[in-house]
A and B are shown apart, each in its own frame.
Chain A
Amino acid sequence: ETGVTQSPTHLIKTRGQQVTLRCSSQSGHNTVSWYQQALGQGPQFIFQYYREEENGRGNFPPRFSGLQFPNYSSELNVNALELDDSALYLCASSSGQGGETQYFGPGTRLLVL
């Protein structure tokens, strides 16, 4: 069984640029959630995709957007990067929409200069 994978592992961007982060869900999982974890904080929910549709969104501006593909992998796109976007971005996969357990990938560490 393959776990959740994310790419790239690290990324450095400058303010105003755009970034795309990628996630492959665990085998058999059709739901992907994205979280932002700032240094010293717990992860904050960005949005969730279930069967290629956005299924819920946290308190993040529209410049945070995403996609889910037919194989259930997912992308997180962030436009007009700001310094405060520097964080660890985590992808989690699960097998449904309810309270099922979410399994996290290793994360992508983004630094915005």
Chain B
Amino acid sequence: QKEVEQDPGPLSVPEGAIVSLNCTYSNSAFQYFMWYRQYSRKGPELLMYTYSSGNKEDGRFTAQVDKSSKYISLFIRDSQPSDSATYLCAMSANSGYSTLTFGKGTMLLVSP
């Protein structure tokens, strides 16, 4: 079992749809949870950063963390074609050094 599981997709939605992206994990030591967006052949761009459980909202993006279920989500409201990218979840345990453990990424395609 991989430490972080993420459905690779692709996930295809029409413009304006609400998108839900998810990751599950097995390591209960993870405390920091991040979502990165990666366009083709580019470096990952940080979208959301959450510590421990709870919700965080930033514009059209909402991140949720449920540590009891070892499950994190990213919601995108009013999706746009420019949101088409691969979304990577990442997490760290802060065990002396902040290595990030990533999921495989979910490819999102938003059609006009």
Are A and B bound to each other?
Answer: yes
Interface residues of A (CB under 8 A from B): 4, 6, 31, 33, 35, 40-45, 48, 50, 55-56, 58, 88, 90, 92, 94, 96-107, 109
Q: How many residues of B contact A (CB 8 A)?
A: 29
The 0/1 profile, CB within 8 Å of A marked 1, for residues 68-97 of chain B is 000000000000000000001010101011
| Cβ-defined contact, A90 with B43, below 8 A | yes
Question: Would you call A99 and B31 a contact (CB within 8 A)?
Answer: yes
Q: Do B104 and A56 have beta carbons less than 8 Å apart?
A: no
- Secondary structure at the B interface, as helix, strand, loop or mixed, is loop
In Å, the complex CA distance between A46 and B31 comes to 21
Of A31, A42, A55, A106, the contact of B42 (CB 8 Å cutoff): A106
Q: Return 21 A-B CB contacts under 8 Å, by A number.
A: A4-B43, A31-B98, A33-B99, A35-B100, A42-B88, A42-B103, A43-B44, A43-B100, A45-B101, A56-B99, A90-B43, A90-B44, A92-B100, A96-B98, A97-B97, A98-B98, A99-B31, A99-B51, A101-B49, A104-B43, A104-B46
